[in-house]
Homo-oligomer: A and B are copies of this chain.
């Protein structure tokens, strides 16, 4: 055995765990996944690093204290964010993954047969509270779905020239607001702002009337670059720790009035929700697929050999306040994205811009090719003109107060799925 073989074994579809809940084909967290997060629980309110397995969380701080997990850094797991662990680098991530995969495997007795130890290091997800998994020094949001950019361009600019000329040349992106990134489950207050109503000369101040989601995924930078030293496309994936679901809440009316010429600002800065579990790029390896054909061929600094897209199924549901049943409003796939994560990171750093451990990079709204696979209500309802019928709770042009929006995502393996959990938020009424 060697490290490469050990790593390949963690991806083996036939590997099963001794925790039954991890072997449920519908579980997001089988032994092949092992995503990292930050949690506390009723018995211990200290935030610490955990890994989801089935319906449980493995407490890595407790596991290390018990001598069952070695990591090069001292105490990187007894922390309220993953940054210090992530900063150890890829070899450390893999080493921890390999150790956990073995410890949780059906045939490994160390933890399986020790009830007292299990009580110390396993916490039921139902009893845990989850937090933002990383301290986020910087947040970039890209715009890398060709379908989404085309839809938005057709609606707000020119349907005949919907895609701007720079779009096929580079992964267009902008800096987002890192301070208001929140973890799934955090209620989101409808923003106030300036609205330019069609029948009035001047804007009015009031609550957003066109509140929307953007179904995105985000990646977490695992190894940054120094100022002035770009990351090459071919090397970029080695700088990525893992991925989360991301909802880039958007106030369309505020956006339309404010965004020329410097881009979206208050329309996006009030909240961005991410899922609590970071699924590592290592766990996603079996689901690598070819990215769409890029035509024209990108400039040299954006080229990379091989397959750099990932086959990740995505869904969004909307549940009105007091409704029992949620309605699925879109189904799409991350593999549709035109620009890859590697190209996004190479593009942002080609100017010399530095990145840091924990930086969050959003994909941009993920829209598929069909009109039931769009990643925003703006597109699904064509700016409110074609409201969606919900199973329960009427119709929706945009989000209403009390609505809960939930993003889910998973890679489908043979008999198991590598899932991302939930990225959910309920809308509170605007501040009066």
Contact = CB atoms under 8 A, between A and B. Distances in A.
Given A182-B227, A270-B353, A348-B266, A203 B254 contact: no
Interface residues on A, range: 35 or more
A297 B182 CA distance: 35
Interface in A359-397: 359
9 contacts: A138-B178, A164-B260, A164-B261, A170-B258, A174-B174, A175-B175, A179-B354, A192-B350, A202-B296
A300 B355 CA distance: 39
A202 to B, nearest CB: 7
Contacts of A191: 351-352
A264 B263 CA distance: 8
A367 B347 CA distance: 31
B169 A202 contact: yes
Contacts of A265: 172-175, 348
Contacts of A230: 192, 431
B227 A351 contact: no
Complex A-B, nearest 10 residue pairs according to Cβ-Cβ distance, in ascending order? A263-B263, A269-B353, A175-B175, A174-B262, A266-B351, A191-B351, A262-B263, A270-B351, A270-B352, A189-B228
Contacts of A309: none
A276 interface: no
A176 interface: yes
Contacts of A270: 227-228, 351-353
A353 B177 contact: yes
